[in-house]
Amino acid sequence: MPYVDRQNRICGFLDIEEMESSGKFLRRYFILDTLEGSLVWYMDNPQNLPEGTSYVGSLKLIYISKVSDATKLRPKAEFCFVINAGMRKFYLQANDKQDLVEWVSALNNATKITVPKSGEQVAHNTAEACVDTLGAAKQVSYKTEIIAGVPIITTTQEKGEGQNGADKSGMRKPPGQLPFYLSRSNQDQSVIKAGYCVKQGAVMKNWKRRYFLLDDNALSYFKSDMEREPLRIIPLKEVNKVQECKQSDLMMRDNLFELVTTSRTFYIQSDSPDEMHGWIKAISGAIVAQRGPGRSAASFFVATHPVHVQPNHVSLQTSLIYIYCWNDQKDSLP
């Protein structure tokens, strides 16, 4: 689902047909910025890309005339909608029906806000490209002309080779599709939740996109959903706590949650607030199911508390041992 980030921009993942009429949709991270009057898309969330990485494409809001549902126009593209921008139509795929409705509404509302007033001159933009595609060997060039007050965009150069060489890892897959080795008939474990998230490394503290898979016994993550061997398996019995990260402001990360284990704290970033809460709920539920009622993501711990006693003026220090059971509140057992 689209969400509002720290800069009050609407963000989220969508799949876009970058090459017109190609039928090939690629996964991109979109940012709708009404203050800048633009819709830009990146290969991934900019927070996960090297500093200074530019966007893959952009579209000025003043050129958008209408955004609407396109499921009937593209029956093979599930949850598809279209952005009409002059002579060019951009087809995008949302993650589900609600995601589609929210993006269409947000884009139409943003367009209404940024439409120039009557009489306002926009002719100085005639040489400006409506679409700016970067990262290709040859760039797509467009010419914008104002005819009867309407911006008309025409292609002045053939599409570059880089368009065909787009990252195949960005290809759209059906929602909730499991890795190929788990989708076969020999699947011997119950998958509770699966999907891509971004995690912080243990040593370099860099952020990398990984495919996470939660089953009844562990949370595993892979380099991609096509890998057979996980990079790491985190047994649920070692998880002490899973919660929304309290340091998200310091880390400047949206939708961040933490998984505290006996040996390490994992910082994991989801694509949206709904996804973050979904992972927290799923992991917590799996832990409760494994350990039984009354034992949530925090296990037992033992603490000592010094008590001073002075019988017959003789100083004596003893320790009382308290055992706490953490399940949203602490209960002491003498």
User: pLDDT tens digits for 210-232?
Assistant: 999 999 999 999 998 888 899 99
**Under 8 Å CB-to-CB from 207, ≥6 apart: which residues?**
47, 48, 198, 199, 200, 201, 269
Distance CA 279, CA 242 (A): 9
* DSSP per residue, 36-62: TTEEEEESS-GGGSPTTPPPSEEEEGG
Which is more confidently placed, 216 or 143? Answer: 216
Checking if the pLDDT of 331 tops 60, the result is no
Q: Are 18 and 133 in contact (CB under 8 A)?
A: yes
Domains of the chain: 3-114 (2.30.29.30), 189-291 (2.30.29.30)
The label of the residue with tokens 């398996």 reads 233
Task: Indicate the pTM of the whole model.
Answer: 0.53
The per-residue pLDDT for 218 is 93
Confidence of residue 314 (pLDDT cuts 50, 70, 90): very low
* DSSP per residue, 138-200: S---EEEEEETTEEEEEE-SPPPHHHHT--GGGB---TTPPPTTTSSTT--S-EEEEEEEEEE
What b/e string do you get for 297-308 counting C-beta neighbours within 10 Å, with b at 16 or more?
A: bbbeeeeeeeee
Alpha-carbon distance values, 59 to 85, 109, 157 (Å): 9, 15, 18
Locate 239 and state its tokens: 């998880």
The per-residue pLDDT for 91 is 93
Distance CA 200, CA 31 (A): 23
What is the average pLDDT score of the chain?
74
The per-residue pLDDT for 184 is 37
Q: Which of 105-119, 145-159, 235-249 has the lowest mean pLDDT?
A: 145-159
The per-residue pLDDT for 247 is 78
Checking if the pLDDT of 38 tops 90, the result is yes
Confidence of residue 295 (pLDDT cuts 50, 70, 90): low
Which is more confidently placed, 234 or 327? Answer: 234
DSSP type of residue 311: G
The per-residue pLDDT for 271 is 87
Which is more confidently placed, 108 or 173? Answer: 108
The per-residue pLDDT for 141 is 56
Rounded to 5 degrees, φ, ψ at 106 are -65, -45
pLDDT tens digits, 239-259:
999 999 887 676 778 889 999
Checking if the pLDDT of 34 tops 60, the result is yes
Question: ∠ CA 48-49-52 to the nearest 5 degrees?
Answer: 135
